[in-house]
Amino acid sequence: MNYNSEFRRSIDKPEEFWREKAGDIEWIQPPGAIWKATDNGHGHWFPDATLNTSDVALDANVRAGRGNQKALIYDSPVTGTKCSYTYTELTNEVARFAGALAAQGVSKGDVVIIYMPMIPEAAIAMLACARIGAIHSVVFGGFAAHELAVRINDAQPKAVITASCGIEVAKVIEYKPLVDKAIEQASHKPDFCVVYQRPQVKAQMQDGRDHDWSDLMATAEPVEPVPVKATDPLYVLYTSGTTGKPKGVVRDNGGHAVALKYSMKLVYDANPGDVFWAASDVGWVVGHSYIVYAPLFAGCTTILYEGKPVRTPDAGAFWRVVQEHNVNLLFTAPTAFRAVRKEDPEADQLSRYDISSLRSIYLAGERLDPPTYDWLREHTQLPILDHWWQTETGWAICCNPVGIETMPTKPGSATFPSPGYNVQVVDTRGSHVPAGEQGQIAVKLPLPPGCLVTVWGDDQRFQSSYLNLIPGFYTSGDGGYVDEDGYIFVMGRTDDVINVAGHRLSTGEMEEVVASHPAIAECCVVGAQDDMKGQIPLGLVLVKDGATIDHDELEEELVEMVREKIGAIACFRRALVVDRLPKTRSGKILRRVIRQIADGEEYAIPSTIDDPAILEEISEQLRR
Ligand code: COA
Ligand code: AMP
């Protein structure tokens, strides 16, 4: 089999192609029909099939004789804990927690929010929801109470599952007060909460609403997986859009299982028994797909790591985990290795460990900058494989298809479209742009299985954000080009989404927070280049006439407001007071030019600018 014939078949005969791939998972009712178009311009994969995602991930592996194989290894340098679960043990834990949720009244179609640190119970909670057909919505633990409240209002959960605390290097962050505050702020009130008490902090419980995880587990009866339709939602995962309101990406059960199982071979060349480590967080899509679901679908051992690439305790942390657990495939964001390289430029730490189990290193989440690629290549001598994807797609849109045919890599390129993705570089009208020229990267519909099927509670937004911008295409929001050999180069977002340390954030959302300060007349937030985090937000603010606040004090207040409303994860640390904002004559803020000035790049003075002198003034202020 070669990549070209596989790719062509996926585009020319998608139903035949995906029927074949659907044969790789265990269904309750296997698909008869493969695709059904819907009137939202998209459609459903496997419309008449049924399955259970936790059965595919767990019970199917036990039935296949992998019951005694490790399914999940938990490695937590921040607490000094390591433990593992075999497939049989993980199945039992999940079945029991599913029983606990069911006993509290959670059933098929109910939403459950999971706000947890990187502990096995987070994965158990996700799989338990899947087992009873409930829809989980994991909220990243680094988000503040307000962000959690926004998601509670949108998702309308029946329950919230949390832990008493998370641990950030040496800092203990109490989660329960954040959950209490979020529920207080939200207009929707969940029926109950489940709290996993960690030894570091004992959370205060609210009588009648909060249940201790261990108490529920002590009396729970394990339950069998319930059949759900392939088209039923498995989860909602909120991601930043261009407005202040995050979008709830909805993923179905059937397409997700088929696509992720296929991706494990195609993208990662993973086999049952391999040890797969995605060094990310369950709160992000990488964590959903490649810490929890895909490695289990493929019968691998997955690693759940509660630590950082550095400072837990040093820049050898990743290599230590690889050696200790015989990791075969490692996946993380480039920023993690930029942090390692900064602290250990000559990779001295690497020489302390035996990483011979490792076959390849995978990177995604942001552009893989050539210096990071070169450093990794030089010091590990391993294939360093860039792949491009998004929360919306759930698996790689572009990759080096090493499970089928290994292609020569080109630094800066995520290689070729994954089979199923008809990727095209187009202008705003949908016409092709020639090789080498930049345009919008779009995917001709239909999207393959595993991609978002709608935006939670707002199908109109799904259409307007992704499908209507260029009719017949899914618009990715990323710009880039295809070279003469067909390699795809993703150069960055064309909207107001920024990528801070591999975390996707909305500058629009930060602007809403900054603008709510009583002294601010107007503001804009752009993503400025940062050596380690890729991008960091930079605010430019205009103070109201008559406001007398000291500028340093104002900056401190704005930084605190963004921390309080969005979370420390936003890394909003700079707000510069300016006299005016550069605008077009029609009043549109010239964000691109501001970004170029902040990055010290050459910029062309736009012909539409109302007052060119302002650019030099801002440049001057940023230099100070
Ligand atoms: N809960 C609570 N707070 C969190 C958090 C969590 N789960 N994750 C991060 N934070 C906080 C941090 O403590 C920090 O707070 P501070 O400003 O008070 O110090 C802030 O959010 C920023 O965190 P982070 O971006 O992680 O910066 P850092 O300087 O601590 O670490 C890196 C830098 C590069 C080591 C780190 O960002 C990293 O490991 N990145 C990889 C990201 C990744 O895996 N992305 C997933 C895509 S594959
Ligand atoms: P998220 O939805 O958080 O996974 O972020 C998705 C965004 O990250 C994409 O739209 C891109 O802007 C960026 N991204 C992800 N992977 C890559 C990659 N390999 N190269 C360049 N950008 C990437």
Mean pLDDT, residues 565-577 taken together: 95
Which one of 408, 438, 457 terminates a domain? 457
> 478: Cβ below 6 Å to ligand 2?
yes
Q: Does 555 have pLDDT greater than 90?
A: yes
Q: Which ligand is nearest to the CA of 478?
A: 2
Mean pLDDT, residues 132-151 taken together: 97
- Does some domain include residue 472? no
Locate the ligand 1 atom nearest the alpha carbon of residue 563 and give its number.
17
Residue 53 CA to residue 149 CA, distance in Å, equals: 28
- How confident is the prediction for the chain on average, in pLDDT? 96
What pLDDT band is residue 455 in, cutting at 50, 70 and 90?
very high
Same-domain pairing of 265 and 350 = yes
pLDDT digits over 384-432, tens only? 999 999 999 999 999 999 999 999 999 899 999 999 999 999 998 889 9
From atom 48 of ligand 1, which residue's Cα is the shortest distance away?
A: 333
Q: Does 188 have pLDDT greater than 90?
A: yes
For residue 602, the model assigns a pLDDT of 86
Q: Does 624 have pLDDT greater than 80?
A: no
* Contact between residue 340 and residue 302 where contact means Cβ atoms under 8 Å apart: no
pLDDT digits over 66-98, tens only? 999 999 999 999 999 999 999 999 999 999 999
- Does some domain include residue 471? no
Q: Does 470 have pLDDT greater than 90?
A: yes
Distance 104 CA to ligand 2 centre (A): 38
For residue 307, the model assigns a pLDDT of 98
pLDDT digits over 243-297, tens only? 778 999 999 999 999 999 999 999 999 999 999 999 999 999 999 999 999 999 9
Distances (CA, A) of 287 to 146, 237, 284, 303, 500: 23, 11, 5, 11, 17
Tell me whether residue 579 is exposed, middle or buried, using C-beta atoms within 10 angstroms of its C-beta: 0 to 12, 13 to 18, 19 or more. Answer: exposed
- Does some domain include residue 445? no
Q: Does 339 have pLDDT greater than 80?
A: yes
Same-domain pairing of 172 and 300 = yes
> 289: Cβ below 6 Å to ligand 2?
no
> 142: Cβ below 6 Å to ligand 1?
yes
- Phi–psi pair at 117, nearest 5 degrees: -80, -175
Locate the ligand 2 atom nearest the alpha carbon of residue 398 and give its number.
19
For residue 126, the model assigns a pLDDT of 99
From atom 3 of ligand 1, which residue's Cα is the shortest distance away?
A: 142
> 380: Cβ below 6 Å to ligand 1?
no
In 518-614, where do the E strands start and end?
520-530, 534-543, 575-577
- Does some domain include residue 440? no
Distances (CA, A) of 335 to 223, 311, 348, 409, 532: 41, 14, 19, 20, 6
Residue 52 Cα to chain centre, angstroms: 23
Residue 304 CA to residue 154 CA, distance in Å, equals: 28
Same-domain pairing of 379 and 502 = no
For residue 7, the model assigns a pLDDT of 98
Residue 142 CA to residue 247 CA, distance in Å, equals: 18
From atom 46 of ligand 1, which residue's Cα is the shortest distance away?
A: 280
For residue 208, the model assigns a pLDDT of 96
For residue 428, the model assigns a pLDDT of 84
Locate the ligand 1 atom nearest the alpha carbon of residue 140 and give its number.
7
Q: Does 443 have pLDDT greater than 80?
A: yes
> 340: Cβ below 6 Å to ligand 2?
no
| Best probe residue, ligand 2, of 331, 361, 386, 390 (max atoms within 8 Å of C-beta) | 390
Distance 496 CA to ligand 1 centre (A): 21
From atom 2 of ligand 1, which residue's Cα is the shortest distance away?
A: 142
Q: Does 342 have pLDDT greater than 80?
A: yes
For residue 433, count other CB atoms closer than 10 A to its CB.
15
| Best probe residue, ligand 1, of 569, 571, 574 (max atoms within 8 Å of C-beta) | 569
Domain span at 578: 498-623
Same-domain pairing of 413 and 525 = no
CATH number at residue 591: 3.30.300.30
> 307: Cβ below 6 Å to ligand 1?
no
pLDDT digits over 512-544, tens only? 999 999 999 999 999 999 999 999 999 999 999
> 138: Cβ below 6 Å to ligand 1?
no
User: How many structural domains compose the chain?
Assistant: 2
Distance 441 CA to ligand 2 centre (A): 12
Mean pLDDT, residues 564-587 taken together: 92
Q: Which ligand is nearest to the CA of 267?
A: 2
Largest CA distance in the chain: 74
pLDDT digits over 12-51, tens only? 999 999 999 999 999 999 999 999 998 777 899 999 999 9
Mean pLDDT, residues 62-66 taken together: 98
Q: Does 351 have pLDDT greater than 90?
A: yes
Element (H, E) at 84: strand 81-86
For residue 5, the model assigns a pLDDT of 97
Which one of 457, 484, 514 terminates a domain? 457
For residue 313, whether the previous peptide bond is cis, meaning omega lies within 30 degrees of 0, is: yes
Same-domain pairing of 104 and 215 = yes
For residue 146, the model assigns a pLDDT of 96
Give percent above pLDDT 90 in the chain. 88
For residue 50, the model assigns a pLDDT of 98
Distance 367 CA to ligand 2 centre (A): 7
Same-domain pairing of 246 and 98 = yes
CATH number at residue 130: 3.40.50.12780
> 569: Cβ below 6 Å to ligand 1?
yes
> 493: Cβ below 6 Å to ligand 2?
yes
From atom 1 of ligand 1, which residue's Cα is the shortest distance away?
A: 142
For residue 584, the model assigns a pLDDT of 84
For residue 437, the model assigns a pLDDT of 95
> 393: Cβ below 6 Å to ligand 2?
no
What's the number of CA atoms in the CB half-sphere (13 Å) around residue 477? 21
Same-domain pairing of 507 and 418 = no
For residue 606, the model assigns a pLDDT of 80
Which one of 435, 457, 479 terminates a domain? 457
Give percent above pLDDT 70 in the chain. 100
